[in-house]
A and B are shown apart, each in its own frame.
Chain A
Amino acid sequence: MFSLRKDLAKKAGYKEKHILEDEFERSIRRKYADWNFIEKQPPRIKAALKYYIETGDLRLAQKIAKMNIEEFYELVKKAKIPIVIIREY
């Protein structure tokens, strides 16, 4: 339920700030990800990593991958997908 189109997100009551935050975090994950590594993964893992890049939703991505959270978390790091923590100023 997390990744919504911007117009739908607004209708669902998302704060504008959160929509912008999500977009920015997604752009960072896309930029740093090792796409060669991701594309070489088996279909389920590849789908889970892509889902994580797009949504930042670790729990659902982990379920798609059918992996234990620590194993999936390690895989996210092997794929060079960063955990993004924005410093607002």
Chain B
Amino acid sequence: MIASIDTCFIIDWSKYRKRHLLEKIFDYVFTTEEVLNEVSSENTLEYVLNLMIKGFLVIYPFKTELSPIVRKALEISVSDPRIPSLDPPEAYALAIAYKENCICLTENKGVLRLVEYYNEFKKVKVWRSLELFKYLYSKGLIEDFEKELENYSRDTGHVFPKKRFS
């Protein structure tokens, strides 16, 4: 399985005590220079560089092919009030997932809403940390789902409230 990843996801995941689990799920993960340029803390840089040295985190080699998709996504985020702001790092993560039919790892609401509102992007599979933990649990890579969400919350400042909307 392959994924693309955006900046905030990689920053958060680098803080997680069991961050090695990402490598148990995916064969490799694509990213772009835009994401690398935004990483600045020692912890995240160390994590990112380690993954690159292992050949797990890979700079997407066909970036020029993504330009029309990225442009389209950015145009939509500017013009459609339903879509929160998108910047190139997450737009590229979305475009890679679109092009490669792989999973997009992001918690960016712009990406999530774009995929929900626009048919042309509906095929993109977007995973937040929650979906990643569900998958880890389904594969037996974590034993206690709730405990692991608690750990992730402590390490990254996320909260996972339960709510019904219908």
Using a CB–CB cutoff of 8 Å, the interface residues on chain A facing chain B are: 1-2, 4, 9, 12-15, 17-18, 20-21, 24, 28, 32, 55-60, 68-71, 73-74, 76-77, 80-89
B161 part of interface (Cβ distance < 8 Å): yes
Question: Among B87, B128, B158, which residue has its beta carbon within 8 angstroms of that of A82?
Answer: B158
Give Cα A23 to B157, complex, Å: 20
Which residue of B has the minimal Cβ distance to A20? B165
Which residue of B has the minimal Cβ distance to A58? B8
How many pairs of A and B residues are in contact by the CB < 8 Å rule? 104
**Is there an interface contact between B84 and A59, defined as CB atoms closer than 8 Å?**
yes
* Residues of B with C-beta under 8 A to A57: 84-85, 109
Question: Among B40, B78, B161, B164, which residue has its beta carbon within 8 angstroms of that of A70?
Answer: B40
**Is there an interface contact between B166 and A17, defined as CB atoms closer than 8 Å?**
yes
**Is there an interface contact between B110 and A1, defined as CB atoms closer than 8 Å?**
no
The 10 closest A-B pairs by CB, nearest first: A59-B85, A82-B159, A1-B81, A77-B157, A2-B84, A83-B158, A12-B81, A57-B84, A87-B162, A70-B40
B115 part of interface (Cβ distance < 8 Å): no
Also in contact, A85 and B159, with CB within 8 A (given A12-B81, A59-B85): yes
B12 part of interface (Cβ distance < 8 Å): yes
Give Cα A87 to B163, complex, Å: 6
